[in-house]
Amino acid sequence: MPRASILALLLGLIPGSVFAAPHIPVDGNQVVERLPSRADPVQRELRRLRTELAASPNDLRLAGALAQRYIEQARIEGDPRYLGYAQAALAPWWTQPAPPDPVLVLRATLRQSTHQFPAALTDLDLAVKRDSNNVQAWITRATVQLVTGNLAAARASCMRLYSRAPALVVQTCLSGVGSVGGQAAASYRQLVEARASHPPATADVAVWVDTQLAEMAARSGDDARAEAHFRQAMKADEPDSYLLGAYADFLLDHDRAPEVVRLLKDKTRVDALLLRYALALQATGAPEAKEATDALRARFDAAMLRRDTVHQREQARFELALRRDPAAAVRLAKANWQVQKEPADLRILADCALASGDAEAARLVRDWLRSSRIEDRRVAATAARLKAA
């Protein structure tokens, strides 16, 4: 399968909130960032592609290659600037209503990362209408539909991958949908069997599959298997921000905050990872917890000034767990739920409903549990407490 297809799939599974908002330092002597070395192989490749594209700005092949590399770096580093660079590389075609197919899918991927889901689906619908064999478009389409809670449509998009994509990719797509749609055990079993029968062709696919399996096992309460899958995924040369956040959540859920501190202490440029780092510091009683919390507050305040709503899920968690403001948290959780409906979105909505006593939030949780049939032991436990309350 082409690397571009795998890349779009992997990036599509990353919520936009993993990307960092601008950080405003309070001390002029503070080191804000250490720039990548010019000798770094990735930076050398990006520099070469930029130079070539500058000489031929309308070369679609070059523009697409550079945009894909930027998107990959955004996935690894959680740095939203790379997404802006990717959009800039596609500038000659960006505003066209019907650009060439490669631009359609790249533009949809970038729009998805900033929660422009309807616009992303418009691009993807046109892409598959033009070419029903466009694997990348079907995968990205399934991802957007899954994130927005349209499980039936996501499953249908996954089904279109049959005979078009490797068996492991097809099953991972289907298991991702089934695991949150009432088929958790079967989805996990089928993906384990597919991985054994069809070893991952690339490291990216291996990490994607292992991360999916880890999250499925964690939701079902099989902590031993979840730990094993997370550790396998973490063997990647450069664990991406999504994996780091998911593993940190698993550790926090099991009162292993010191491990989170060690895992994320050098990864706090990404808002979602700074949040988990602050939560871990708070849990350990570390004096640095206040500094991390203040830094996170400044980032969210800056995002709100820009009317940036990509981070609402993380901000709701921040308000609930770090600022102890259930009323503010539930407002954010409900606003976020209108946009995306992943398991993490449901969990923070349920937690905020319980803490705030908000009846509407509680109803939203109950309705989704009934309609989706998602199986998540922690959400189920919270829902039971909501019912009792």
Residue 108 vs residues 14, 139, 144, 279, 299: alpha-carbon distances, Å:
14, 11, 9, 33, 26
CA angle 351, 368, 120 (to 5 degrees): 100
Give the tokens for residue 77: 């580093």
| Three-state DSSP class for residue 114 | coil
Decide which of 1.10.8, 1.10.3470, 1.25.40, 3.40.50 is the CATH code for 166-237: 1.25.40
Which stretches within 56-166 are classed as H helix? 60-77, 81-89, 91-94, 101-113, 117-130, 135-147, 151-159
Residue 306 exposed, middle or buried by CB count within 10 Å (0-12, 13-18, 19+)? exposed
DSSP letter assigned to residue 221 = T
What is the SS3 string spanning 30-59?
A: CCCCCCCCCCCHHHHHHHHHHHHHHHCCCC
Given a contact cutoff of 8 angstroms between Cβ atoms, the answer to whether 248 and 263 are in contact is yes
Q: How far apart are CA 381 and CA 374, in angstroms?
A: 13
Q: How far apart are CA 372 and CA 1, in angstroms?
A: 31
Give me the tens of pLDDT residue by residue for the chain, a chain 389 residues long: 333 344 444 444 444 444 433 344 444 444 444 445 455 787 888 999 889 888 889 999 999 999 999 998 888 777 888 999 999 999 999 999 999 999 999 999 999 988 999 999 999 999 999 999 999 999 999 999 999 999 999 999 999 999 999 999 999 999 999 999 999 999 999 999 999 999 999 999 999 999 999 999 999 999 999 999 999 999 988 899 999 999 999 999 999 999 999 999 999 989 999 999 999 999 999 999 999 999 999 999 988 888 777 889 999 999 999 999 999 999 999 999 999 999 999 999 999 999 999 999 999 999 999 999 999 999 999 999 999 98
**What are φ and ψ of residue 25, in 5° steps?**
-70, 150
| Three-state DSSP class for residue 19 | coil
Q: How far apart are CA 203 and CA 196, in angstroms?
A: 15
| Long-range interactions of 366-371: CB distance < 8 A, separation 24+ | 368/149, 368/341
Equal CATH topology for 50-161 and 166-237: yes
Which stretches within 160-240 are classed as H helix? 167-178, 184-197, 203-220, 223-233
- pLDDT for position 39: 58
- Extents of the domains making up the chain: 50-161, 166-237, 240-298, 309-388
Torsion sign, CA atoms 200, 203, 207, 208:
negative
Task: Find all residues with CB under 8 Å of 173, minimum gap 6, and list them.
Answer: 9, 139, 142, 157, 158, 161
Q: How far apart are CA 301 and CA 21, in angstroms?
A: 10
- pLDDT for position 200: 94
Query: Hunting for tokens 């070395």 — which residue is that?
Result: 37
Given a contact cutoff of 8 angstroms between Cβ atoms, the answer to whether 211 and 242 are in contact is yes
Q: How far apart are CA 76 and CA 88, in angstroms?
A: 19
Give 129-139 pLDDT, tens digit per residue. 999 999 999 99
CA angle 54, 204, 247 (to 5 degrees): 115
Query: Within 13 Å of residue 386, how many CA atoms lie on the same side as its CB?
Result: 27
Given a contact cutoff of 8 angstroms between Cβ atoms, the answer to whether 19 and 296 are in contact is no
Query: Within 13 Å of residue 12, how many CA atoms lie on the same side as its CB?
Result: 31
CATH class, 50-161 region: mainly alpha
**What are φ and ψ of residue 325, in 5° steps?**
-125, 85
Rounded to the nearest 10 degrees, how much is the dihedral formed by the CA atoms of 61, 64, 65, 66? Answer: 120
Q: How far apart are CA 383 and CA 363, in angstroms?
A: 10
